[in-house]
Each structure stands twice: as structure tokens, then as C-alpha cells.
Amino acid sequence: MNKPKPQHVEMNQFGIRDNELVIGGVKITELAQQLGQTPFYAYDKKVIEGTMKNLREILPDEISIHYAIKANPMPELVHYMATLTDGFDLASKGELLTALETNKPAEHISIAGPGKTDNELKAAIQAGITINMESAGEMRRIQAISDSLGVTANVAIRVNPDFNIKASGMKMVGGPRQFGIDEELVPGILETLKSSKLQFVGFHIYSGSQFLNETAIIETNSKIFDLAIRLSNAAHISPKTLNIGGGFGIPYFPGDKRLSLNNIASELKIQSQKFRSQYPETKIYMELGRYLVGEAGVYITRVIDKKISRGTTYLITDGGMHHHLAASGNFGQIIRKNYPVCIATNMNEDKKELVSIVGPLCTPLDILADKMMLPVANEGDLVCIYQSGAYGLSASPQGFLSRQNALEILI
């Protein structure tokens, strides 16, 4: 018999009432009735507020917090994040348009990412936001567009350091990368900028995403500040801004431990003060996405059918990988692992069964939970996938098989 896979992350950020999951103070069945359909995503404002409050209390005052919109670009959520954070970091023109609708000042918005089109660069220049340059070629295009518009572009250099990160997660620096300008080439770029008409703003050194190793984060941050000091000293410049990235992870899978920020914050204070002792006017900020909204979101789907096939019990739902690619294991996982899952309409754990939860798509990849011991569910019950506030709907192939799109709600 297959060994059941454990419920691996303890979820206590949401409530329970009448044996049902409660999101934003609303029972899950009532929420489904209000929306008029499943599947849907729900994002809880209070959970986000709690995360932000904790960060503000722990992080040094000199560290600003920007929201990385790519984590979740739902317009209503972005507007809400504008009230909680100090700025935005973008990865496309679409995200730029959403950010500008919040009336967040341009000096608190930046755009990064390889392969920015001329259209995106033009929009960024006209909006007056900071463009994090990824290559010498991109810098030349920015200059040409800036000249044609008669507008001075604000630019920062995204640096690809020569150091590696000793941590699991999505690493984006060290070695050859499509991201940023190699550290050894930055001095030449800075010299070129001095004779250009571009307005140099600062440095962007983003190490990666979803790190849960406290020691590795501390070591990486130390190297980032040291590198920023070396580059600034060598070029005799005083950067207006320093984006040190973020990378804070959240627990998803067996063995994941929740990140403790106390030591990270203490070291950040030391490093930031060391940097600002030389460059007191530089504004330092972190860009966080998943860490701010990931735990505040759930994906809700309804059981359409229950069947037993050669000893395996399947719950077949109306939602699947076309709405939540990450939960299916097809968004960066090498070996598939289960997200935290519950039967949202039966939070009573007295009677359980071993089940696999699968979506309605015509592919064996459409798996939301593989052989998990869960409370007994039947047709009509609602299934909840936790940790779904980031890289959920917008990171999924909604057009696959032309099925109904999922809704989103912020409550």
C-alpha cells in the first residue's frame, strides 16, 4: 500500500467556523455562493497586513519595502499593496500600467527583466520610472529612445555578481546569466554612462527567490552590500538607490521550515549602516513578492466526481493545473511535492481517507494532491490549496483546453 504523504505545513492564518474554512471572515461556502462559481482564488487582507506589520517591526527603518508585482498582479491587490508598501518593482508594460493606476510616484517604481521591448522601454521612459538595465545593448536602445522622445531616462544597473549562493531556491546570479550585467563589465558601463544623457540612479543586485536558509541570506546580503560599495568607490559615484532584492521564501513542502527574520534583520542593520556611512543619501530597498502575499491566498475548487480505480481513490475537481500550475508540480519542481491541502467544507479530521485530487484536464499531469490523507470528501465538497497567493493564476495556462477561467477576490 502506498504510504500517505503528510500534511506538511501547519496552516493557522485562517479561521474555521461550523467545520468550514473561513477566509477574510467569510465561510468558504458563502464565498462560493457570492462569487457564483468555482474555481476561484481568495486573498485575505488581514494576513497580508500581518505580514507587513511584522516586517516593519523587524527590518531596519532604513530599509524600504517594494512589492514585486510579478508575484500576483491582480489589479485590486496591487492597489491594496500600494497602501502598505513603499514602491513597486515591475517586469512588463502590463504591470507598469497597473502600477501607474495606483498613483504611486514614479520615483518609487522600477522595471527589470531581460528582453524589454522598445515599446516597454518607451513607456517606462515616458512614465519616468527607473529602468534596471540588463545589458549594454539595452542601454544603447534606452539612449536612442530617450533621444527620440527628448526625455531623460532614469536608469540603474542590474548587476550579475561573480559570487554564488549557498542555498536552495531559484538562483539568479553567478556564472553566465540572462539577468543583469556581469560584475566585471559594470565599471565600463559606468564610464559610458558618465558621457551619456541618461540619468544614473543606482544598482539592482537581485540574488534569487524562495530562499529558506537564514545563513545563506545573511551571507548573500553581506556580499551584495560589499559589491555595491566596491562599484561605487571605483567609479566615484554616489548611487541614489540600492535595490538588494529579497528572496525570502515561504514553506510549501515536507521539511520546509518557516524563515526566521530576526538574525537576518540584525545583520541587515549592520550592513546597511556600513553602506550608509559612506553613502548616507542612498535609499536602500528590498523587493518582495511571494513573501508578502503567498500565504494570504487560497485556491478553491469543487469536487465533481469521486471514483476508485484499482485501489486508488480519486477526487476529481472542476479546477486544476490550468489555474494552478505550481500546485500541479509543473512550475519549477524537479520532483513533484504536494502543496498544503484541506477539505474546506470538512475541517473535521476525525475520519480520514487516502486520496489523490486531480483536475478535469485530459492529461495525467493535472494533479493537485497525490495520495494524501485528508478528511473524507464527497461530490460538492470544496478543496482548498493553501500558499496560493503568489505565482498562482497569472503563472498558469488558463487557455489550456478552453475551460472556464477562475475568479479572484480580495477580502
CA 397 remoteness from chain centre? 18
For residues 365 and 270, is the Cβ–Cβ distance under 8 A? no
- What pLDDT is stored for residue 348 in this prediction? 83
CA distance 276 to 278: 5
Shortest CA distance to 250 belongs to which of 388, 348, 411?
A: 388
**Residue 174 confidence (pLDDT) above 60:** no
- What pLDDT is stored for residue 58 in this prediction? 96
Who has greater pLDDT, 134 or 170? 134
Helix, strand, coil percentages for the chain (3-state, nearest 5): 35, 25, 40
Q: What is the mean pLDDT of the chain?
A: 91
For residues 377 and 356, is the Cβ–Cβ distance under 8 A? no
Lowest mean pLDDT among 22-31, 41-50, 177-186: 177-186
In which element (H, E) is residue 297 found?
A: strand 297-309
**Residue 6 confidence (pLDDT) above 80:** no
In tens, the pLDDT along 26-36 reads 999 999 999 99
**Residue 201 confidence (pLDDT) above 60:** yes
Provide the residue type at 74 as one letter. M
Backbone angles phi, psi at 158, to 5 degrees: -85, 120
- What pLDDT is stored for residue 355 in this prediction? 97
Residues 6+ apart with CB under 8 A from 371: 2, 4, 5, 312, 354, 355, 356
- What pLDDT is stored for residue 253 in this prediction? 87
**Residue 89 confidence (pLDDT) above 90:** yes
Percent of the chain at pLDDT exceeding 90? 78
In tens, the pLDDT along 379-405 reads 999 999 999 999 999 999 999 888 989
- What pLDDT is stored for residue 48 in this prediction? 98
- What pLDDT is stored for residue 206 in this prediction? 79
Shortest CA distance to 116 belongs to which of 88, 79, 145?
A: 145
Q: What is the pTM of this model?
A: 0.92
Q: Give the pLDDT mean for 11-17.
A: 88
Residue 118 in grid coordinates? 522598445
**Residue 2 confidence (pLDDT) above 70:** no
CA distance 26 to 20: 10
For residues 307 and 299, is the Cβ–Cβ distance under 8 A? no
- What pLDDT is stored for residue 1 in this prediction? 42
Q: Which domains does the chain have, with CATH numbers?
A: 15-44+294-410 (2.40.37.10), 73-288 (3.20.20.10)
Percent of the chain at pLDDT exceeding 70? 93
- What pLDDT is stored for residue 67 in this prediction? 98
- Count CB atoms within 10 A of the CB of residue 6: 10
**Residue 179 confidence (pLDDT) above 50:** yes
For residues 296 and 54, is the Cβ–Cβ distance under 8 A? no
CA distance 409 to 390: 14
Where do we find the cell 553567478?
Answer: 174
Lowest mean pLDDT among 4-18, 166-180, 255-269, 271-285: 166-180
For residues 51 and 70, is the Cβ–Cβ distance under 8 A? no
Shortest CA distance to 368 belongs to which of 410, 405, 396?
A: 396
- What pLDDT is stored for residue 171 in this prediction? 47
Residue 61 in grid coordinates? 527603518
CA torsion through residues 97, 102, 105, 111, sign: negative
For residues 131 and 121, is the Cβ–Cβ distance under 8 A? yes
Q: Give the pLDDT mean for 71-89.
A: 98
Residue 288 three-state SS? strand
In tens, the pLDDT along 235-283 reads 889 999 999 988 899 999 878 889 999 999 999 999 999 999 999 999 9
- What pLDDT is stored for residue 330 in this prediction? 83
In tens, the pLDDT along 132-146 reads 999 999 999 999 999
- What pLDDT is stored for residue 180 in this prediction? 75
**Residue 335 confidence (pLDDT) above 60:** yes
